[in-house]
Amino acid sequence: MKSFIVITFVLLALNCSDNDTDDASNCSDVFCTQEFRTITVSVKDRDGVAVALDKFKVLVLAGGEDITLNTANGEYDWMIKNGTYPLFSDKYSMEYRNKELEVNFKGYIGNSLVVDSHYTVGADCCHVTLIEGETAIVIDNP
C-alpha cells in the first residue's frame, strides 16, 4: 500500500511541470478554418450615417510600424459607402501568432484627423482577434 501511494505521488509530481511552453504556443496540432478574417471599425456620425474617410492609417504603437491594409479602388468605394474600415486581418496572423499588440487607427477627412482610436489586437494559431477597443466609432461633425 505504501508503494502505491509513493508511486502515485511520484507520478503526480512528474505531471506537474513549470515549463514556459504551453499547448497554446504549439500550433502544429491545430486545424484552422480556411476563412480569412478581418477586424473592422465602423465610423458613423451621431445620426448613424456612414462617414467617408479620405484616408486612414493603422499603426503599431510600439515602433510605429504602418500595417494599413492596401485596398483596391472598388474596395475603398465600398468602405466609404458603408463607413467600415479594416483594422487588423489574418494577413498578420503568422507574424503576430500568440501575441498581443496595441494599434492605433487614425481616420482623416481632408487633412483633419477625425478618428484617433487605440485597440489591443492579437492572433491565435489561426486567426486574428480583437482583445480590447470599441469598433463602433461615432464622431460629432465629419
Question: What is the pLDDT tens value at each position of the chain, 142 positions in all?
Answer: 555 454 545 444 545 544 444 444 577 777 888 889 899 999 999 999 999 999 999 999 998 899 998 887 678 888 989 999 999 998 888 888 888 999 999 999 999 999 999 999 999 888 899 999 999 999 986 6
Distance separating alpha carbons of residues 89 and 36, to the nearest angstrom? 8
CB 30 within 8 A of CB 85: no
Contacts of 45 (CB under 8 A, 6+ apart): 51, 138, 139, 140, 141, 142
pTM of the model: 0.75
Residue-level pLDDT at 19: 46
Q: Output the pLDDT for position 21.
A: 45
